Structure formats: structure tokens, C-alpha cells
């Protein structure tokens, strides 16, 4: 049981692209005070929790409502996650903040930086795979632990930026992209097996 929890936690942690979120957060809040940054982190993490738990809990109903098979969604989610991974490895920015006064807690930090299309797809699939209550509790716990780890990373952002520098954070983002690419291929292959 613990091994499954740990496996889910690590998968979810990397799916949330923590180092991309951190480097993006530090870039967009360079003119903020520490107090403003902390307030923004709390709002962003709150939004991520609500969005992720909603997707995780109601994935089954969404599939039933739309008449989509789980295997078809696995393939689609895997492709989206792979595209996100490629963007991470290439270091591409996919959202631009217009001005310093813009509220960035929900959009773009929660969606689409932390919870992008690939993450949404994976959460929906995971919510449909974990059907018993013990599995759902374990999955929800792993999800909250992953989001909690992201929060800790953001709160330690100033210290990490000083220790690792922007280049160090970019390297970690690219490594996250490689891990996501492997996860996405695994999800696609699992979906394709269902069609054979």
C-alpha cells in the first residue's frame, strides 16, 4: 500500500511540473515583496487543490457524460502530456503575463502552468482507475502530498534561487520534462493496449 502511495505521489509531483512552476513564479513575481509572494502562493495552492481534487473525484462522471472510453482518454492525455514535456525540455514559455498588476494566482499559475492539459487528462484517468474508497483515499492523499510539496518548494523559492541560480532551476525543469515524456509514453502505451 505504501509503495503504491509513493508511486502515485512521485508521479503526481512531476506531473505538476514543480520546477517550471517555481521558475515561472520567480520570474513573474520579481518585483513582489516576500509577503506578497507568500500571499500569492497561498491563493495559487488553494486554486490548485480545488481544481485537482474536482478533476480527480469526478473523472468517472465526465467519461460517462461524454461517452468517452478510458483507453481513448489515456491516449489523448498521454499525447498532451508528451507535448508539455517537449515544451519543458525545449524551455518554451507558453503563457505571458501582460502587466505587474495582473492577478496571476488562478490564471496562469494554477491553470495552465501547474495544471495544464496533460495534468488534467492524467487526473481524470487516475480518478477513473481508482474506484474503491481505500484507493480513492490513497490517491487523494498522494495528490494532496504532491501539492503540499509544490507549496513547500514555492515558499523556499527565494532560497533555492540563490543556491541554484536561474540556470540550475532551468536544468531541473528540463529533467522534469524528460520524466514527463517517459510517463506520457507509458500512459499512451497503456491506452493502446486496451484497443488490441
pLDDT at 93 over 80: no
| Mean pLDDT, range 88-116, rounded to an integer | 76
pLDDT in tens, 13-44: 999 999 989 988 998 898 899 999 999 999 99
pLDDT at site 41: 97
| Mean pLDDT, range 94-121, rounded to an integer | 78
Of 68 and 182, more confident:
182
Cell of 109: 499559475
Considering the entire predicted model, what is its pTM? 0.87
Q: Is 164 helix (H, G, I), strand (E, B) or coil?
A: helix
pLDDT at site 152: 98
In the chain, what is the greatest distance between 2 CA atoms, to the nearest angstrom? 55
pLDDT at 95 over 70: no
Query: With bands split at pLDDT 50, 70 and 90, how would you rate the model's confidence at 5?
Result: very high
pLDDT at 97 over 70: no
Rounded Cα distance, 6 and 1, in Å: 9
Which residues lie below 8 Å from residue 82, measured CB to CB, with a gap of 6+?
A: 118, 180, 181, 184, 185, 188
**How many CB atoms lie under 10 A from the CB of residue 54?**
12
pLDDT at site 34: 92
pLDDT at site 63: 78
Angle at the Cα of 148 (from 146 to 153), degrees rounded to 5? Answer: 95
| Mean pLDDT, range 163-167, rounded to an integer | 88
pLDDT at site 33: 92
pLDDT at site 98: 55
Rounded Cα distance, 95 and 115, in Å: 13
Rounded Cα distance, 170 and 20, in Å: 8
Backbone dihedral angles phi then psi of residue 130, each to the nearest 5 degrees: -90, 95
Query: With bands split at pLDDT 50, 70 and 90, how would you rate the model's confidence at 67?
Result: confident
Amino acid at each position: 500500500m505504501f509503495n503504491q502511495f509513493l508511486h502515485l505521489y512521485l508521479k503526481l509531483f512531476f506531473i505538476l511540473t514543480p520546477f517550471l512552476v517555481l521558475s515561472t513564479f520567480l520570474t513573474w513575481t520579481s518585483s513582489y515583496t516576500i509577503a506578497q509572494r507568500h500571499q500569492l502562493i497561498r491563493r495559487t495552492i488553494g486554486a490548485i487543490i480545488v481544481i485537482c481534487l474536482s478533476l480527480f473525484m469526478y473523472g468517472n462522471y465526465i467519461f460517462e457524460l461524454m461517452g468517452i472510453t478510458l483507453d481513448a482518454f489515456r491516449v489523448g492525455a498521454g499525447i498532451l502530456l508528451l507535448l508539455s514535456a517537449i515544451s519543458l525540455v525545449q524551455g518554451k514559455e507558453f503563457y505571458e503575463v501582460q502587466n505587474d498588476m495582473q492577478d496571476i494566482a488562478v490564471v496562469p499559475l494554477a491553470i495552465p502552468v501547474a495544471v495544464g492539459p496533460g495534468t488534467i487528462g492524467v487526473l481524470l484517468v487516475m480518478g477513473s482507475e481508482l474506484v474503491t474508497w481505500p484507493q480513492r483515499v490513497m490517491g487523494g492523499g498522494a495528490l494532496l502530498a504532491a501539492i503540499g510539496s509544490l507549496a513547500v518548494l514555492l515558499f523556499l523559492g527565494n532560497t533555492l534561487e540563490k543556491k541554484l541560480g536561474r540556470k540550475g532551476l532551468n536544468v531541473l525543469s528540463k529533467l522534469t520534462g524528460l520524466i514527463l515524456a517517459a510517463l506520457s509514453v507509458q500512459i499512451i502505451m497503456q491506452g493502446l493496449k486496451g484497443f488490441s
